[in-house]
Chains A and B, each alone.
Chain A
Amino acid sequence: MSIAIAPPRGNAAGIFVSTGQIARRVLLKFIRSPQLVVVGTLQGAMFLLIFRYVFGGAIALAPGINYVDFVVPGFITTGVLFNAMYASAGMAEDMSAGLIARLRSLPIPRSAVLVGRAVADTALQFWGLIVTVAIGFLVGFRIHGSVGAALAAAALIILFGFVFEWVFVLIGLLAGSAQAAQGFALIVFPFTFVSSAYVPVATMPSWMRGFAENQPLTVMVNSVRCLTEGHPAEALLGHPTSYFVIRSLIWSVGIVAVFAPLAVAKYRRG
């Protein structure tokens, strides 16, 4: 056997190639783990059916908007958080496996490993979005706004997926193990349920309403809701679409600006 070592390569991989290769790995890993694909899809479908048919009948809204049209935008938006939970477990798992040691010893930009994962997970969010919207249509959800507004809503959802990805990547880096990461990721529950995602916040006690009305998920859900449902949603929520969209964009920038550098710094230090 003869193994010739060629001279070292002239250029190290750039940020785009590195990010693309890392993203490809995350996607291949997901696609080749059928249990992840099936469980994730079933879980989303199950919760949507429960809210639509179990709780839906008992929740009275203002006239002009059906509960199904109210809850599906909330569902799609909070779905990105539930999907992002897997990112923290995946990140923690990667950190404890040998592959990350190899990636860290390669001459690539260190942020590429995290950005690659964020890009791949955001692409997977797109898959989740299609599934949830399809199920939503099956149970009676309809878009009442323009096509352009609906596309803007889809773009916002993908953006929110990318935004929350950084929170969960940081959790994964800090957790130490996949199990611990799953545990820490449970912080999604207060954020998703104490929001306008599934019910109008008006029925909550005032102390809780203060949190619900001002936390990022509520304005994100309401942006998507106003974009897909138009005037009835704006009337119900008491603000124009632009009010929610601008606030949700500000939250998005703020969350990425805080969590992405923290995650990269934590990853660098190892």
Chain B
Amino acid sequence: MSATLEAADLNKSFGKTHALDGLSLTMEPGQVMALLGPNGAGKTTFVNLVATLIRPNGGTLRVHGIDVARNPAAVRRLVALAGQSAAVEPAMTGRENVVMVARLSGASATDARRDAAAVIEQMGLTEAADRTVRTYSGGMRRRLDLGASLVARPRLLLLDEPTTGLDPRSRLELWDVIRSLVANGTDVLLTTQYLDEADHLASQIAIIDHGHVIASGTPRELKRLAGRNVVEVHVRDASALDRVAATLMSIGDGPATVDVPTRSVRVALSADTDRVFAALRPLDDTGIAIDEVSVRQPTLDEAFLALTGAPKEEVA
């Protein structure tokens, strides 16, 4: 069985800008892959290449073994795109939009109506289905856009920044929909600049910067790349911070970081977690009131920073 997606040394320039510069990645069937990277990293360019909207300048790109440059028409039958801007016609109703895409992807009139009704139901838009899209909220438009992509029955669904610009609630609703796709085995390639989105949805993450992949793996693997586990202690009284820091130094690798506003001390572990409990015992004996102790993996934010060296603001 060929890979869902296979890119090798892919290049794409717009004038003097090298949007993609030797990008290589492989996506196996049954995966949700997130392309993570700052604005201008080349995420959308890559998605547009897969959707055959643009053509590569060099390298190869295959979808289920079919070369995108040689046989774009065949690739179009396998992929569907839900873009940054909801690609729906505002003057048509939700149902008319979905029926149109179903018809354009080859369904008969009867099948198109039936499939559209099913997709609209699944997107939770049944009540609004016969209103024009002009009256929809941003979140509803995105869900309709996603529904219109699904009614084309893609083997690979491309989601380009599906939740950018949505309020937190609409974002969570859309995550639910995407997760249910995953549960049903649809391959999904999504781009995002939100680390938590990649962390929640993806089984594989490729971090892209300056047009090529700088790291890839499962969320867990990427976090491990960023460093060791971290132990963090929150105390009730800020005056105890120095004593706690001194104790944590003995189990940590490198200096302990004191954060006064949150009354916490953080240190990266040098060894396995067994010694954490040994180190915390004397802390307990001191009688310092401790609110919370946590041992955790580094966050994806920390991983991203370690890998790109980019300031966090550019990412989030």
Residues of A within 8 A of B (CB): 1-13, 17-18, 21, 24-25, 28-29, 32-33, 97-108, 270
Query: In the complex, which residue of chain B has the Cβ closest to the Cβ of A113?
Result: B104
Q: Tell me whether A3 and B177 are in contact (CB under 8 A).
A: yes
A227 to chain B, nearest CB (A): 37
Chain B residues, CB < 8 A from A25: 89, 92, 100
Check if B220 is an interface residue, CB within 8 A of chain A: no
Check if B84 is an interface residue, CB within 8 A of chain A: yes
Chain A residues, CB < 8 A from B80: 105
A5 to chain B, nearest CB (A): 5
Whether A105 touches B106, Cβ cut-off 8 Å, given contacts A1-B180, A4-B184, is no
Report how far A252 CA is from B104 CA in the complex, Å: 30
Q: Tell me whether B184 and A5 are in contact (CB under 8 A).
A: yes
Report how far A6 CA is from B124 CA in the complex, Å: 19
Query: In the complex, which residue of chain A has the Cβ closest to the Cβ of B103?
Result: A21
Chain A residues, CB < 8 A from B195: none
A37 to chain B, nearest CB (A): 12
B33 to chain A, nearest CB (A): 17
Check if B105 is an interface residue, CB within 8 A of chain A: yes
Report how far A10 CA is from B105 CA in the complex, Å: 10
Q: Tell me whether B106 and A10 are in contact (CB under 8 A).
A: yes
Chain B residues, CB < 8 A from A28: 89, 91-92, 96
14 example contacts (A-B, Cβ-Cβ < 8 A) are as follows A3-B186, A4-B184, A5-B150, A5-B154, A9-B107, A9-B153, A13-B104, A17-B103, A21-B104, A28-B89, A28-B92, A101-B48, A104-B52, A107-B76
Contact mask B87-130 → A, CB, 8 Å, 1/0?
Answer: 11101100010001101111100000001000100101000000
Contact mask B52-84 → A, CB, 8 Å, 1/0?
Answer: 111000000000000000000100111111011
Whether A9 touches B105, Cβ cut-off 8 Å, given contacts A3-B177, A105-B51, is yes
A1 to chain B, nearest CB (A): 5
Report how far A3 CA is from B124 CA in the complex, Å: 12
Whether A7 touches B153, Cβ cut-off 8 Å, given contacts A102-B83, A105-B81, is yes
Chain A residues, CB < 8 A from B180: 1-3
Query: In the complex, which residue of chain B has the Cβ closest to the Cβ of A108?
Result: B104
Check if B176 is an interface residue, CB within 8 A of chain A: yes
Whether A13 touches B103, Cβ cut-off 8 Å, given contacts A2-B184, A104-B53, is yes
Check if B132 is an interface residue, CB within 8 A of chain A: yes
Residue A103 contacts which of B104, B154, B177 (CB distance < 8 angstroms)?
B104
Q: Tell me whether B177 and A29 are in contact (CB under 8 A).
A: no
Report how far A78 CA is from B112 CA in the complex, Å: 41
Q: Tell me whether B100 and A107 are in contact (CB under 8 A).
A: no
Q: Tell me whether B91 and A32 are in contact (CB under 8 A).
A: yes
Enumerate B147-184 residues with CB–CB distance to A below 8 Å. 148-150, 152-155, 176-177, 180-181, 183-184
Q: Tell me whether B53 and A270 are in contact (CB under 8 A).
A: yes
Q: Tell me whether A101 and B87 are in contact (CB under 8 A).
A: yes
Query: In the complex, which residue of chain B has the Cβ closest to the Cβ of A11?
Result: B106
Whether A8 touches B52, Cβ cut-off 8 Å, given contacts A1-B176, A106-B101, A107-B73, is no
B96 to chain A, nearest CB (A): 7
Enumerate B21-46 residues with CB–CB distance to A below 8 Å. none
Chain B residues, CB < 8 A from A99: 87-89
Whether A3 touches B150, Cβ cut-off 8 Å, given contacts A12-B106, A99-B87, A101-B53, is yes
Residue B185 contacts which of A5, A8, A29, A98 (CB distance < 8 angstroms)?
A5
Q: Tell me whether B83 and A5 are in contact (CB under 8 A).
A: no
Contact mask B270-283 → A, CB, 8 Å, 1/0?
Answer: 00000000000000
Q: Tell me whether B81 and A102 are in contact (CB under 8 A).
A: yes
Report how far A208 CA is from B271 CA in the complex, Å: 91
Chain A residues, CB < 8 A from B183: 2
Query: In the complex, which residue of chain A has the Cβ closest to the Cβ of B178?
Result: A3
Whether A101 touches B122, Cβ cut-off 8 Å, given contacts A1-B176, A32-B132, is no
Report how far A77 CA is from B97 CA in the complex, Å: 35
Q: A2-B122, A3-B150, A3-B180 are in contact. List 19 more A-B contacts (CB 8 A).
A: A1-B177, A3-B122, A3-B186, A5-B181, A6-B153, A13-B105, A17-B104, A25-B89, A25-B100, A28-B92, A29-B92, A98-B83, A98-B88, A98-B145, A99-B88, A102-B81, A106-B105, A106-B152, A270-B53
